[in-house]
């Protein structure tokens, strides 16, 4: 264990070395953020209730050792302490941890930590330089503060589901908890910005992120279609509202994704398909023209695409710089990333305790993210963390 003022861990070159994060978050958004920060050297202490993080029981699927793959996907490089806030001694330990940490992250319902003395106001009174990161569903003020934050609810209420699925069919959720992930990423940015501010001013900061705010920001062009243009976008299946062709297209066998983002790419597509004159046709000469007349252009392209296989188009189009790709399964996607040399699978831990994990999303030319600690068992490091807090108390009393 270590802290910004008492660290003896050797993680040379990792930018967050010596930063202690007390992670009071659960499920996905917060744990994802703290895993990314832990990969970059932060000391993450995962605080769990007696039953543990909910995702420990979210199965199937499981790893061969019986651990939930959901839990394992977002909890490496952490140490777990199990505490029951209803127990006076455990609550005191939780408070000590909060008062000693450099960063706190939590995703309790607004006001839910006040009765435990772990809310921002209580903590900042004892730990004035702390970075305190809160993740909620709909913010901490007004009507939204009383609603719990579930990704599926936010996908529905933000408008994402209205954009997902067949135009004539039912709205669909995304295949992952996309706004939990976004909120975790936004919280990570906020924490890093607050740490930089602390370097400059010596002051702590309360960083707030909500799934709803992350959703409206993350919907980017779709949100701004309404905010800036007064247009309410609706679902278009795999089609793009502002580009064509930019969707799944039929071939002689399987569908393939073709993404023409500009006139040059469209010209090269037409050349590969043997219809160069279409790129010169004034009806389809510009991006907006093609989008407006997609119903005219679509059958022309499909007639030529049907003469080639998806594999042939992937090879021929990418050879001339036209973005094109197959629609893979998750396993095919991982294998393709491996073929590209991205090395998506890493070994987490060492020796017999090594487990597979997904590589940190960032690469640096001066450092390597760490993969030292497999996802912890519930309360695995409770004694270690309590002993560290005791040593901090002893150091303070003797100074």
Q: What is the pLDDT of residue 8?
A: 37
pLDDT at 396: 84
pLDDT band (50, 70, 90) for residue 6: very low
Q: Rounded CA gap, 364 and 39, in Å?
A: 12
pLDDT at 166 over 80: yes
pLDDT for 148 equals: 87
The whole-angstrom separation of Cα 198 and Cα 228 is: 36
Could you tell me how many helices (H) and strands (E) the chain has, helices first?
15, 11
Is the pLDDT reported for residue 2 higher than 60?
no
Residue whose entry in the numeric block shows the structure tokens 């004539």: 168
Inform me whether the pLDDT recorded for 11 exceeds 60: no
**Overall average pLDDT of the 99-117 stretch:** 96
> What's the token pair of residue 20?
């202690």
Q: Taking 70 as the threshold, does the pLDDT of residue 80 lie above it?
A: yes
pLDDT for 7: 38
* Helical (H) or strand (E) element with 383: helix 382-398
Percent above pLDDT 70 for the chain:
97
The answer as to CATH 3.50.50.60 being correct for domain 246-327 is no
| β-strands 103-106, 345-348 pairing | unpaired
pLDDT for residue 397 is more than 70: yes
pLDDT above 60 for 105: yes
Residue 155 and residue 287: Cα distance in Å, rounded?
Answer: 30
pLDDT at 3 over 60: no
Q: Is 168 helix (H, G, I), strand (E, B) or coil?
A: coil
Beta-bridged to residue 356, according to DSSP, are: 347
Task: Using alpha carbons, select from 44, 27, 55, 59 the residue that is nearest to residue 103.
Answer: 44
Q: Return the DSSP state at 202.
A: -
Which sequence spans correspond to the domains of the chain?
A: 20-218+343-398, 246-327
- Alpha-carbon gap, residue 342 to 336, rounded angstroms: 9
Q: Which residues pair with 361 in a beta bridge?
A: none
pLDDT above 80 for 43: yes
Q: What is the pLDDT of residue 144?
A: 86
pLDDT tens digits, 243-296: 999 999 999 999 999 999 999 999 999 999 999 999 999 999 999 999 999 999
Residue with tokens 């305190």: 132
Residues 156-166 as b or e (16 or more Cβ within 10 Å = b): ebbbbbbbbee
Q: Which strand (E) or helix (H) includes residue 355?
A: strand 355-358
Asked if the model's pLDDT at residue 10 lies above 50, the reply is: no
Mean pLDDT, residues 38-64: 97
What tens digit of pLDDT does each residue of 117-158 get?
999 999 999 999 999 999 999 999 888 888 888 999 999 999
Per-residue confidence (pLDDT) for residue 12, from 0 to 100: 55
CA 109 to chain centre: 20
Question: Does this chain's domain 20-218+343-398 share its CATH topology with 246-327?
Answer: no
Average pLDDT over residues 364-391: 96
Residues 109, 137: Cα–Cα separation, whole Å: 8
Q: Give the mean pLDDT of 148-177.
A: 96
H or E segment to which residue 51 belongs: none
359-387 per-residue burial string, b: 16 or more CB within 10 A, e: under 16? ebeeeeeeeebbbebbbbebbbbbeebbe
Q: Which two tokens mark 349?
A: 């831990």
Distance in angstroms (rounded) separating the CA atoms of residues 95 and 167 = 52
Cα–Cα distance, 30 to 209 (Å, whole number) = 10
Write down the catalytic residue from 9, 151, 180, 292: 180
Across residues 78-107, what is the average pLDDT? 98
pLDDT at 353: 87
* CA nearest to 299, candidates 324, 275, 316, 268: 275
Helices marked H in 40-177 — which ranges? 69-72, 88-100, 120-126, 151-158
Please say if the pLDDT value at position 1 is more than 80.
no
pLDDT greater than 90 at residue 177: yes
Whole-angstrom distance, CA of residue 362 vs CA of residue 232 = 35
Catalytic site includes residue 39: no
CATH class, domain 20-218+343-398, is: alpha beta
CA distances from 134 to 34, 129, 141, 190, 386 (A): 12, 16, 13, 10, 24
Mean of pLDDT over the chain: 95
Tally Cβ neighbours within 10 Å of residue 181: 19
């Amino acid at each position: 264990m270590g802290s910004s003022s008492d660290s003896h861990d050797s993680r040379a070159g990792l930018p967050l070395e010596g930063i202690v994060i007390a992670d009071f978050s659960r499920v996905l958004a917060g744990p994802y953020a703290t895993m990314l920060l832990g990969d970059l050297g932060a000391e993450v202490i995962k605080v769990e209730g007696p039953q543990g993080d909910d995702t420990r029981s979210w199965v199937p699927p499981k790893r061969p050792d019986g651990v939930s793959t959901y839990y394992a996907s977002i909890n490496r490089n952490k140490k777990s302490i199990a505490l029951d806030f209803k127990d006076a001694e455990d609550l005191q330990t939780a408070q000590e941890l909060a008062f000693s940490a450099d960063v706190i992250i939590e995703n309790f319902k607004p006001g839910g930590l006040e009765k435990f003395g772990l809310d921002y106001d209580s903590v900042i009174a004892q730990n004035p330089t702390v970075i305190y990161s809160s993740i909620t569903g709909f913010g901490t003020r007004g009507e939204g503060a009383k609603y719990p934050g579930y990704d599926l609810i936010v996908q529905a209420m933000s408008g994402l589901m209205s954009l997902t699925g067949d135009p004539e069919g039912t709205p669909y959720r995304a295949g992952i908890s996309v706004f939990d992930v976004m909120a975790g990423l936004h919280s990570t940015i906020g924490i890093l910005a607050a740490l930089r501010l602390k370097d400059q001013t010596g002051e702590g900061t309360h960083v707030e992120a909500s799934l709803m705010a992350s959703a409206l920001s993350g919907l980017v062009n779709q949100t701004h279609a309404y905010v800036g243009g007064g247009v309410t976008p609706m679902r278009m299946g795999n089609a793009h509202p502002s580009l064509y062709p930019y969707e799944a297209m039929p071939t002689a066998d399987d569908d393939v994704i073709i993404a023409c983002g500009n006139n040059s790419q469209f010209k090269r597509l037409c050349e590969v398909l043997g219809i160069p004159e279409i790129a010169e046709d004034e009806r389809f000469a510009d991006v907006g023209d093609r989008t407006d007349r997609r119903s005219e252009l679509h059958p022309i392209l499909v007639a030529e695409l049907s003469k080639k296989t998806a594999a042939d188009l992937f090879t021929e189009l990418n050879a001339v710089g036209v973005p094109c790709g197959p629609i893979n399964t998750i396993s095919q996607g991982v294998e393709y990333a491996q073929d590209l040399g991205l090395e998506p699978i890493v070994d987490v831990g060492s020796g017999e305790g090594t487990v597979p994990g997904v590589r940190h999303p960032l690469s640096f030319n001066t450092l390597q993210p760490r993969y030292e600690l497999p996802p912890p068992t519930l309360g695995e490091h409770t004694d270690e963390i309590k002993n560290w807090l005791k040593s901090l108390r002893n150091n303070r009393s003797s100074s």
